[in-house]
Chains A and B, each alone.
Chain A
Amino acid sequence: MAGNDVLLSIKDLHVTVEGIEVVKGVSLEMKKGEKHAIMGPNGSGKSSMANALSGHPAYEITSGEVLLDGENLLEMDASERSIAGLFLAFQYPLAVPGVTVTNFLRSAIKAHRGDDPSVLRSFRKEMKEAFKLLEMDEVFASRYVNDGFSGGEKKRFEILQLAMLQPKVAILDETDSGLDIDALKVVSKGVNAAHTDDNAVLLVTHYQRILNYVSPDHVHVMMNGNLVRSGGPELAHQLEEKGYDWIKAELVA
C-alpha cells in the first residue's frame, strides 16, 4: 500500500509571477512521516513555489499537477487548500491590526472544524497548550495578530498555528531566519511536536542551521527554479561546508 502513503505529490510544476517563470518544472513526492528540506540561495524560487502551492493569487501555476493526499490541489482556492490539510508558515507573516490572536485562531479553527459548542469549548484549552509549547506569554492572546510582534514572535506564532491546525502537509518558509539560537530551539521543538507518522513537513531554508534541530530525511537543492540535486541529510552538511557555489560549479561542468 506504499502509494497511499504519499501525502504530497508535485509533478512538473511551473510557476509564473509578474509574467516571469520562477519555478521551472519541479517534481517532488513526500510520504507520511517524512521531513524534507529544500535549500537554495536567495531568489532561487523557494518562496514562489511555497506560495503557489498554498494558492497565493499572484503566483500563477502555468502547468503541472499537485495532489494532496490524492486530492487535486490546483482546483482549490487558498482557504480550501488549508481545509484539505495544507499549511504554510509564512516567511513574512502579515499583521492584521485590530484582530486579536484569539479571534483569529478561533476563526481558523471554526473554518476547519465547524462551530459546534464542543469545538469552541476545547479551543481555549488547545490554545493555552499551544502557547505553552511555543513558550509564548498568554498576553499574546489579546494582542493584535503580528501587530508589533518582533521577528521571532512572528515565527513562533506561525508554528503555534501549525500546532493547532494539525495539517497533513506543512511547508515552513524560512521559519529559521532571523531567530536567535534560543528561539530557534523553541520553534524547532514546536515543529517536532507537530510532526507525526501521519503527516509531512517541508522545510524551506537558506541555511542548514535549523536542520540540526529538525532533522530531515531528504534534502533537495533548488537553484534557478529547479531542484538540481536531492539526497539525504549529508547533502545539507556538504552545502554547509562548500556553499552553493560548489553545486553551481558542478552543474556547469
Chain B
Amino acid sequence: MIEQDTKSQALEFRPATEDEPEWLYTLRKQAWERYNEMPLPDRVQHLWKYTAPEQFEPELVEEVMKAVPVRPNGHSRTEQMLPEGHDGIGVETSDNKFGIALSDNATEKGVTLISLAEAAEQKPELVEKHLGSVIGSDYGKFEALNLALWQGGLLLHVPAHTTLEQPIHLKRTPGSGTTITRLLLVVGENAEVSIIDEYAGGDGDGLMHAVVEGIVDNSARVALTSMFNLPESQRLNLTHRNRIGENVTLTSSAVALGGSVTKVNWSTQLAGRGANSHWNGLLLGNGKQHFDHFTGHHHSASETYSNLEFKVAAGGKAVSAYTGRINIDKDAFFCEAYQENRNLLLSDKAKVESIPELEIINDEVKCSHGVTVGALEDEQIFYLMARGITRDEAMRIILTGFFEKSLETLPQVLRETTRNQLLAKLEV
C-alpha cells in the first residue's frame, strides 16, 4: 500500500492535453494530490466495514493515467440509435467510445447530453461551476481518484422549465482494466426529467469507479433510476450524491442484480425548503455476489421529506450489507424521514446486515425506521402449493411479489425487462 502510494506520487501529473483549461488541470491535480495523501478508507467506519477497500485500488495507476484523455480528441463517437420511448441515450464503453442520441424534442428544448470532456470545452461555465461541487476531492480517497483521473463521463443538462416525457438512458460498460467514469447531472429550475443511470455489460474482470453528481434546482421533478447489471466478474464502486433545492421532488429507484462486488454510496442532500426525496431499491443476490449499499438522506432545510424502502433477497452465498443513514440538521425544522429495509434470506449460507444510523439534532421531526430479516414463510409456500403450484414456482411467485412494489416505481420502459431479469435470476 505504502509502496504504491510512493510509486504513484512519483508519477508526474501532466495536463491531459496541451490545451487542457487551467481550471480543469488545477482541479484534477489537486484531486490527484488528495488521492495520494489520503490513506485507504478506515475499515472501522461503517462505510467500509463490510467491504475491503484494497480491492478497489487500481492495479496500475500509470496505466490509468495514460488512459486519461479528458479531452474530446481522445475519444470517439459511434452511431447510436435512439430506442423507442426515450428522449435520449448515452452509451459509454471502456475504450472511450461514446454513442449519444437525443430526440428532436429534447434537442429543441435545449437539453445537452455530451461527454464530460466535450462539455469541459463546450460548456465550461456549467462544468467549472459544478464539477466536483457535490463530490469533491475531500469526499474520500476513491472520489479524489475519480476527480483526478476520469477518462470518460457524461454531462446531462436539462434547462429550466423543460419537461421531457420520456426517459434519458445512460449506460456505462466497463472493460477488463480499471475504468473511471463520472456523470454530471444538472437539472434547472422547474424542469422535469426521468434519467436511467445504468452500469451493465462488459467482459473481463474489470474494476469500475463511478461518481454521479446531481444538482437539481428548485421545483424540479426528477426520476432517477440506478441499474446495476454488471457481469459477475466486475467490481463497481459508485458514489452518487444529489443536492436538491426548494420544493424539488426526487424519485429514485435502484435495481441491484449484477456484479461480483458492488459498493454503492448513495446520498441526497435536501438543501431547500419543501424538498422531497423518495428512494426505492431492490436487490437480488446469489452465487458469491457481494453487495454493500449505503444510503443517506441529509435534511439540511426545513419542511423536507424523505422516504426510503429497500428490499433485499439473498440466496447462494451472497452477502448484502446495508447502512441507511438519516441526518437532520439542527436548524432544519418540521422534517419527516422514513426508512425501511426488508431482507429475505433464500439460503442458509447467504448473509445480510442492516444498520440504521440516525443523527437527528432537532426535536421537531417525524422519523421512523425499520428492519426485518427472515426466510420465506413455509405457511405461505404451502398456501400456494395447496393450489397445485410447485414449490419452486411458489417461491418464485412469492419473491416477485416481494419485489413488486419496487418494480412499480420503475419507469415503464424498464418494468418488464427488469421483471424478466429477476425471474431469470430466480430460475438458477
Give A residues with C-beta under 8 Å from B.
54-58, 77-79, 81-83, 87-88, 90, 93-94, 96-99, 103-104, 107-108, 111-112, 144, 161, 165
Chain A min CB distance to B404 (Å): 3
For chain B, give the interface size range: 20 to 34
Q: CB distance B385 to A58 under 8 Å?
A: no
Query: In whole angstroms, what is the CA distance A167 to B45 when docked?
Result: 59
Residue B44 at the A interface, CB < 8 A? no
Chain B min CB distance to A126 (Å): 15
For A111, give the chain B residue with the smallest CB separation: B388
Q: CB distance A107 to B389 under 8 Å?
A: yes
Given the interface pairs A94-B380, A107-B393, the reply to whether A99 lies near B388 with Cβ below 8 Å is no
Residue B370 at the A interface, CB < 8 A? no
Q: CB distance B397 to A107 under 8 Å?
A: yes
Q: CB distance B402 to A98 under 8 Å?
A: yes
Q: CB distance A96 to B383 under 8 Å?
A: yes
Residues on the A chain within 8 Å of B56, using CB: none
Q: CB distance B389 to A108 under 8 Å?
A: yes
Q: CB distance A77 to B386 under 8 Å?
A: no
Residues on the B chain within 8 Å of A90, using CB: 383, 386
Give B residues with C-beta under 8 Å from A.
377-380, 382-391, 393-394, 397-398, 400-405
Q: CB distance B388 to A108 under 8 Å?
A: yes
Grouping DSSP codes into helix (H, G, I), strand (E, B) and loop, the B interface class, with mixed when no group exceeds half, is helix
Given the interface pairs A58-B378, A78-B382, A88-B386, the reply to whether A96 lies near B398 with Cβ below 8 Å is yes
Chain A min CB distance to B385 (Å): 4
Given the interface pairs A94-B379, A103-B397, the reply to whether A77 lies near B387 with Cβ below 8 Å is no
Residues on the B chain within 8 Å of A58, using CB: 378
Q: Which of A56, A78, A88 has the most chain B CB atoms closer than 10 A to its own CB?
A: A78
Given the interface pairs A96-B397, A96-B401, the reply to whether A165 lies near B388 with Cβ below 8 Å is yes
Query: Can you name 14 A-B pairs with beta carbons within 8 Å?
Result: A55-B386, A77-B391, A78-B386, A82-B385, A94-B379, A96-B383, A96-B397, A96-B398, A96-B401, A97-B402, A98-B402, A98-B404, A104-B397, A165-B387
For A107, give the chain B residue with the smallest CB separation: B389
Q: CB distance A93 to B383 under 8 Å?
A: yes
Q: CB distance B405 to A98 under 8 Å?
A: yes
Q: CB distance B383 to A94 under 8 Å?
A: yes
Chain B min CB distance to A215 (Å): 26
Query: In whole angstroms, what is the CA distance A206 to B403 when docked?
Result: 39
Residues on the A chain within 8 Å of B402, using CB: 97-98
Residues on the A chain within 8 Å of B389, using CB: 79, 107-108, 111
Query: In whole angstroms, what is the CA distance A81 to B388 when docked?
Result: 7
Residues on the A chain within 8 Å of B388, using CB: 79, 82-83, 108, 111-112, 165
Query: In whole angstroms, what is the CA distance A96 to B396 when docked?
Result: 12
Q: CB distance B387 to A82 under 8 Å?
A: yes
Chain B min CB distance to A89 (Å): 10
Chain A min CB distance to B347 (Å): 18
Q: CB distance A98 to B400 under 8 Å?
A: yes
Chain B min CB distance to A104 (Å): 7
Residues on the A chain within 8 Å of B385, using CB: 55, 77-79, 82
**Given pairs A79-B385, A104-B384, 7 additional interface contacts (CB within 8 A):** A79-B387, A81-B386, A87-B386, A90-B383, A96-B384, A99-B401, A104-B387
For A79, give the chain B residue with the smallest CB separation: B385
Query: In whole angstroms, what is the CA distance A222 to B388 when docked?
Result: 28
Q: CB distance A99 to B398 under 8 Å?
A: yes
Given the interface pairs A54-B386, A77-B385, A90-B383, the reply to whether A98 lies near B401 with Cβ below 8 Å is yes
Chain A min CB distance to B214 (Å): 29
Chain B min CB distance to A105 (Å): 8
Q: CB distance B387 to A57 under 8 Å?
A: no
Chain B min CB distance to A143 (Å): 12
Residues on the B chain within 8 Å of A83, using CB: 388
Given the interface pairs A90-B383, A93-B383, A99-B401, the reply to whether A111 lies near B378 with Cβ below 8 Å is no
For A82, give the chain B residue with the smallest CB separation: B388
Residues on the B chain within 8 Å of A57, using CB: 378, 382
Query: In whole angstroms, what is the CA distance A161 to B386 when docked?
Result: 11
Q: CB distance B380 to A96 under 8 Å?
A: yes
Q: CB distance B386 to A98 under 8 Å?
A: no
Query: In whole angstroms, what is the CA distance A147 to B390 when docked?
Result: 22
Query: In whole angstroms, what is the CA distance A115 to B382 when docked?
Result: 22
Residues on the A chain within 8 Å of B403, using CB: 98
For B406, give the chain A residue with the smallest CB separation: A98
For B392, give the chain A residue with the smallest CB separation: A79
Residues on the B chain within 8 Å of A98, using CB: 400-405
Query: In whole angstroms, what is the CA distance A87 to B380 when docked?
Result: 16
Query: In whole angstroms, what is the CA distance A128 to B402 when docked?
Result: 27
Residues on the B chain within 8 Å of A93, using CB: 383
Q: Which of B380, B382, B388, B402 has the most chain A CB atoms closer than 10 A to its own CB?
A: B388
Residues on the B chain within 8 Å of A94, using CB: 377, 379-380, 383
Query: In whole angstroms, what is the CA distance A96 to B403 when docked?
Result: 12
Query: In whole angstroms, what is the CA distance A103 to B386 when docked?
Result: 16
For B405, give the chain A residue with the smallest CB separation: A98
Residues on the B chain within 8 Å of A161, using CB: 387
